[in-house]
Structure formats: structure tokens, C-alpha cells
Structure 1
Amino acid sequence: MNSKDKILSLPDLQELVQAWRSEGQQIVFTNGCFDILHLGHVDYLEKARQLGDKLVLGLNTDASISRIKGPSRPLQDEMSRARVMASLLFVDAVVFFDENTPLELIKALQPDILVKGDDYTIENIVGQDVVTARGGEVKTVPLVKGYSTTNIVRKIENQQNS
């Protein structure tokens, strides 16, 4: 399968999720910017995928990231980020969202398991109420300490300034 084939519109993804569900598969959902792929991301996504049968990744659009993180971000455009994420064998589908949070996407997809890193508490995870209301689970997975895109950017900037 080509990585481009895993980048879906919301209607196409909803159809695919419905097919997966009809086969009895559990749908795991997580989201993020994933601006520079690093070990922390790979470890997190691998752990998230192990919680169910299919991993759906909600990816912030460029406009969404700029609103949240400022005008200097993202570092890579959304299609580049989507292709990189879709190339990971444990990511089954990638879908964009333009809002600041994935709440509308979570409502539309109704995942069985909603996952974030353990830097969140369950009650602070956007969409946890939607998922638990239909009997789904909300989980956190341990993050690899010291890995973040922000830290990588700082390190590059510091090297350029020295």
C-alpha cells in the first residue's frame, strides 16, 4: 500500500471505520501536529496502536498549528507531515483537522479507544466525554522523556547561534 492511500478525507475515513467495525476491529484514535518525527512520536504511536486493531491519526492542518504554536510553525507542510505519518506501519489512516482541537473529528469517528500521552490526565483529554459516553475507553501512554519537536528546534537554533 502506498502511504498516500492512508491519507483520507473524513467521509472516506468514516466509511473505512464502519467497515473495520463491521469486522469487529477496535478503532484507536490519537492526534497531534507531528511536525518533526522523532523517537518520542514513534514510541507513542506504536504503544497507541497496541491498544486496539486500527490506529487513526488526526493531524493538525498548517493553519491549526500556526494558531496554536505561532507563526513560525509548522516547520513542514501538512502533506509532508501526513505522508511521513502514513508511512509508519502502525498508522492505519491519517485525517486532517483544521480546528484547534480534534473534538469534531472525535464526534464524527466515535473511536473505541482515545489515546494521548501521559502528559495529559484523562479528564483533560479533549473528547474523553464523547468516547466514554458510548462505552469507549480513554487511555494515556507513557512518553519517552526528553523528546519533543520544540526541544529539537531549540537545539538546532542553539547550534546555529554558536
Structure 2
Amino acid sequence: MKNRDIIEQKILSPDSLKTWLAYWRFHEKKIVFTNGCFDILHRGHIDYLSKAADHGHVLIVGLNTDASVGRLKGEGRPVTDQVARAELLASLFFVSAVVLFDEDTPYELIKTVQPDVLVKGSDYRAEDIVGYDIVKAKGGEVVTIDFLEGYSTSAIIEKLNRS
């Protein structure tokens, strides 16, 4: 199988996600879920995602659609469209699947995934993370990860605007 095919196969529709979830659960894989906009993928994102992946066997990344990013981040965002963002994430060897969601929060997607581990950045308190109730109700864990200092999409955009 060609590398390009592998990347494309990791970008899942809701239906194919359900098939893969059944497969991973049958094989007793520990499923980790995180989400975000991941606009202008940078070193901080890589650090965060690799650490998230360390918490299980399968890392599923919920990715905000362009419309969702625009609502959350404002005019001019995202810089990178959802197809490119999904492909960049899927190209990372430690990302098992990328699933787009159009809502402002991934709550419905988390209900579908039922992850064993829910991961977000440490700028959140665990109890305030969307999906905390779902994961805790099934005996899962909610983990926060410190961000790599000095790396953010907003900082990159500001730097580019100053140039």
C-alpha cells in the first residue's frame, strides 16, 4: 500500500469510524480521543498529539471543520482548510484516525467514540473538558497535557502579520 493511501484511509467518515471502533474494541485496544482545530500544524501540536498517543493504543483526533473553526476563532480562520489539516494530522504515524466534526464542541463525537482516555491541554480543568461526563461514567480517564511553551497558531499568525 502506498503512503498516500494510508493517509487517506486514516481520515474517517462517521460510518467508517464505527466500523474501526468495533475492530479496535474487539482487539482490546485502549482508545484515546482528543480534538482541536490544528490550524497551521506546528511543533507544539506534534508534541501534544504524540503525548496524547502515549496514553493508549489508538489515537483518534476530532478535527473541527472549516465552518466550526470560523465560528470559534473568528474571521480569517482557519488559515489551512479542513482537507489539508486532516491530511497533515493523518500523516502522523501516531495518529490512528481523523474525524471531522461541524459542531462547536465534540460532545456528540465523544458519545460515539466512547474513549477510554480523553485528552485536552492543561489550559482546561479536567472537570470542565467537554465529554468528561461521558468518559468518567464508563470508568475512563481524563488527562490534561501541558503545552510546549512558545508555540501557538495565534503566535504564528501574529508573527506573519508583522512581517
Q: Do they superpose with TM above 0.5?
A: yes
Count, aligned residues: 159
Q: Which residue of 1 aligns with 2:113?
A: 109
The structural deviation recorded for 1:76 is 1.0
Partner residue in 2 for 1:122: 126
Q: How does 1:20-99 map to 2 (within 5 A)?
A: 20-99=24-103
> Mean Cα displacement is larger for which, 140-149 or 56-65?
140-149
Q: What is the alpha-carbon distance in structure 2 between the residues aligned to residue 29 and residue 48 of structure 1?
A: 8
Q: Please name the residue that 2:144 is paired with.
A: 140
Match of 1:16 in 2: 20
Identical residues among aligned pairs (%): 55
Q: CA separation in 2, counterparts of 1:31 and 1:151?
A: 20
| Structure 2: gaps (5+ residues) | none
Letter in 1 for 2:118: L
Distance 2:122 2:149 in 1: 11
Normalized against structure 1, the TM-score is what? 0.96
Query: Which string of whole-angstrom CA distances, capped at 9 and with x for unpartnered residues, describes residues 46-80 of structure 1?
Result: 00000000000000000000011112100011001
> How far apart are residue 141 of structure 1 and its match?
1.2
Deviation at 1:11, TM superposition (A): 1.4
The 4+ residue runs of structure 1 with deviation greater than 3 A are none
Q: TM-score, normalised by structure 2?
A: 0.96
Partner of 1:30: helix, strand, or coil?
A: strand
Q: Take 2:82 and 2:75, find their aligned partners in 1: how far apart are those partners?
A: 15
Q: Identify the match of residue 154 of structure 1 among 125, 133, 158.
A: 158
- CA apart distance, 1:17: 1.1
CA RMSD, 1 decimal:
0.7
Task: Look up the SS of the partner of 2:89 in the other structure.
Answer: helix
Residue type of the partner of 1:23? H
Partner amino acid for 2:85? R
Instruction: Output the amino acid matched with 1:41.
Output: H
* 2: CA distance, partners of 1:118 / 1:71: 26
Q: 1:38 offset after TM fit, Å?
A: 0.5
